[in-house]
Amino acid sequence: MKRSRVFCLSLLLLFPLTVGLQAADEKPAKQSEETFEVADGKEMDFLLYLPKGYEQQQKWPLVLFMHGAGERGDDLSLVKKHGPPKLIENGKEFPFIVVSPQCPKGTWWVTEDVVALMKHIMQIHNVDKNRVYVTGLSMGGRGTWQVAGAMADEVAAIAPICGPSDVAVVEKIAHLPIWVFHGAKDSVVKISHSEDMVKLLKEKGNEAKFTIYPEANHDSWTETYDNEELYEWLLSHKLKTDQE
């Protein structure tokens, strides 16, 4: 599928029906393949999901999903293997925008590039800037910590899953609602990574939630993303404004 440039995003996924009214032949919202031009002439491919009724609502929550090392490359179908993109592909509908970038093969997440993408999406789409969330698995779990650290005043809540730790961001994110997930038998990213982050956060007064799957190895994300409670928890948080 040919990918659209970001300056054409406003033309994507129009929904002429009034919210709450569904035609018999109405199809579920889909995620489109897009390309964002980042610094130094580089490009970042990503999946964009606009929820049903997008055009009829002024503001929508935004969820950033960051995949793991196994989904790197230049084929966006790989990003649909896990997490929200997989669920969307299988027909699930979410009440929020989902942005799922792809990390190039042989590289790691570049925080500055992901942040640039997020800020662009927040600028050109109907995003509720008080309800922006970040989640990711494994390599994307570490990316979640790092993006949250870079956008600490713009993110409402985060959910890192089985990600390597990054203690450098603890001070910056200590005020955020955080829910961490990890498998107790993880042989790829040891559970100690999440344990260390939760311990340091609690020392800063953060009441981070920590879910441990006693029998899970590295795949602690399938059960997590299949759990509606995760999305309800994310959406329950928003940034405090001066009026509140």
pLDDT tens per residue across span 75-105? 999 999 999 999 999 999 999 999 999 999 9
Higher pLDDT, 6 or 113: 113
Query: Would you say residue 20 has pLDDT above 90?
Result: no
The residue length of the chain stands at: 244
* pTM listed for this prediction: 0.87
Q: What is the dihedral of CA 103, 106, 108, 111, to 10 degrees?
A: -50
Closest to 150 measured CA to CA, from 166, 161, 162: 166
Give the mean model confidence (pLDDT) for residues 222-227: 98
